C-alpha cells in the first residue's frame, strides 16, 4: 500500500498573503510533490519520509503555524474521493473521475472528456492552478505542436494538450509514482497515442536535443524562477509557455524572472489566490 509522507500545517490565525508566501517558499526548498488546501492551512506531500522530516525541522522556526508529520495511506483513495470529487468543466474540456463518466455526462459535456483517477499526491483538475492552465491551453495554438508538460503529476495537462490537437506530448516528473499515475490515467483515456511519460527533471531534459513548441509548467513560484532559463532552453523559436502553481502576490517576481530569461508575457489570468501566465519565446 502506497503511503505518502506529509506535513499537516495549520495557521494559528488567518494568514496574510505575505505569510502564506513565506510558508510556500520555505516548503519549496524541499520539492513537495503536491500541496492541498485545508481549512486555515494546507497538507504538503513529499517524495520521501526523510525529506518530509527535513521540512518539518525547517518549519520549526516558523512560529505562525502548527506542523505535524503524517503518513497518509493511498489505499482506496479513489473510493473515498467519490463523495467529494465530481467532473469539472473548463472551456471545452471536462475533467472527470471514472465514476462520473455516465451517458448523461457525455451528452451534456461541451467537448472532450478526460478521465483522471484521483490519487492523493497528484492533481485531478480540481485545483485552481490546474484549471487556469487548462483555460490558457485553450487560448493558445496547440494544433500540430510538440508539447512538454513539466512536473506532470497525474498527466492531465499532457493528455489535454494531445486531445486538443498537439502532434505529441511528453510529461516529465521527478517522482516515479507520478509517472505511474500518469500512465494509468493515459490507459483510462483509451491509451491515447502520441503521449509519453518519462521520469526526469527540467535540467536533464534540457540537455537533450529536443525542443518544443509548447511548454506547460504547473510548479511553484520559486521553482519557476529558478528554472526559467532551462525552460527557455527547452523551447523552440516562437514557442509558447503556460505556467501556474504560484500565487497572486508572486506574479511580479515570476514575470520579472521569466522576462530576464528571454520570455515575453502575453496573457495573465487568476482564480482565488492563484495565478497563471502565457508567455512566448521570440521567433
CA distances from 48 to 7, 55, 71, 233 (A): 12, 11, 10, 30
**267 Rama class: left (phi>0) / alpha (psi -120 to 50) / beta:** beta
- Does 122 have pLDDT greater than 80? no
Mean pLDDT confidence for 168-183 = 92
Mean pLDDT taken over the chain: 89
- Does 61 have pLDDT greater than 80? no
The DSSP bridge partners found for residue 277 are: 243, 268
C-alpha cell at 227: 528554472
Q: What CATH class is the domain 126-281?
A: alpha beta
- Does 117 have pLDDT greater than 90? no
Mean pLDDT confidence for 190-212 = 93
Q: What percent of the chain has pLDDT over 70?
A: 94
Mean pLDDT confidence for 62-86 = 73
Contacts of 207 (CB under 8 A, 6+ apart): none
- Does 85 have pLDDT greater than 90? no
Q: What CATH class is the domain 3-75?
A: alpha beta
- Per-residue pLDDT band for 34 (boundaries 50, 70, 90) equals confident
Q: What percent of the chain has pLDDT over 90?
A: 57
Instruction: Decide the pairing of beta strands 146-150 and 88-90.
Output: unpaired
In this prediction, residue 121 carries a pLDDT of 54
Eight-state DSSP code of residue 52: H
Q: Output 120 or 216, whichever has higher pLDDT.
A: 216
In this prediction, residue 76 carries a pLDDT of 56
Where do you find CATH 3.30.70.980 in the chain? 3-75
Where do you find CATH 3.40.50.150 in the chain? 126-281
Element (H, E) at 231: helix 221-234
- Does 160 have pLDDT greater than 60? yes
- Does 96 have pLDDT greater than 90? yes
**Three-state DSSP class for residue 101:** coil
- pLDDT single digits (tens) 265-280: 999 999 878 899 999 9
Residue 212 and residue 239 in contact, taking contact as beta carbons nearer than 8 Å:
yes
Q: How far is CA 151 from the centre of its chain?
A: 6
- Does 216 have pLDDT greater than 70? yes
Amino acid at each position: 500500500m502506497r503511503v505518502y509522507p506529509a506535513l499537516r500545517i495549520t495557521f494559528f490565525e488567518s494568514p496574510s498573503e505575505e505569510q502564506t508566501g513565506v510558508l510556500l517558499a520555505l516548503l519549496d526548498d524541499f520539492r513537495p510533490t503536491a500541496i492541498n488546501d485545508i481549512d486555515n492551512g494546507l497538507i504538503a506531500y513529499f517524495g520521501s519520509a526523510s525529506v518530509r522530516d527535513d521540512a518539518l525541522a525547517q518549519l520549526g522556526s516558523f512560529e505562525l503555524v502548527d506542523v505535524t508529520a503524517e503518513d497518509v495511506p493511498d489505499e482506496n483513495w479513489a473510493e473515498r474521493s467519490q463523495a467529494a470529487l465530481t467532473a469539472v468543466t473548463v472551456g471545452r474540456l471536462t475533467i472527470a473521475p471514472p465514476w462520473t463518466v455516465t451517458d448523461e455526462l457525455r451528452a451534456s459535456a461541451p467537448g472532450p472528456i478526460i478521465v483522471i483517477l484521483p490519487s492523493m499526491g497528484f492533481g485531478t483538475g480540481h485545483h485552481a492552478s490546474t484549471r487556469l492552465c487548462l483555460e490558457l491551453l485553450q487560448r493558445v495554438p496547440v494544433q500540430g505542436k510538440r508539447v512538454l508538460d513539466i512536473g506532470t503529476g497525474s498527466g492531465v495537462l499532457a493528455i489535454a494538450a494531445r486531445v486538443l490537437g498537439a502532434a505529441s506530448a511528453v510529461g516529465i516528473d521527478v517522482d516515479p509514482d507520478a509517472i505511474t499515475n500518469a500512465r494509468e490515467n493515459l490507459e483510462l483515456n483509451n491509451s491515447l497515442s502520441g503521449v509519453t511519460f518519462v521520469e526526469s527533471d527540467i535540467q536533464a531534459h534540457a540537455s537533450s536535443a529536443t525542443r518544443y513548441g509548447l511548454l506547460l509548467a504547473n510548479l511553484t513560484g520559486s521553482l519557476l524562477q529558478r528554472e526559467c532559463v532551462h525552460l527557455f532552453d527547452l523551447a523552440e523559436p516562437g514557442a509558447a509557455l503556460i505556467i501556474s502553481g504560484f500565487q497572486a502576490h508572486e506574479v511580479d517576481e515570476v514575470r520579472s524572472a521569466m522576462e530576464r530569461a528571454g520570455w515575453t508575457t502575453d496573457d495573465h489570468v487568476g482564480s482565488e489566490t492563484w495565478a497563471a501566465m502565457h508567455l512566448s519565446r521570440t521567433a
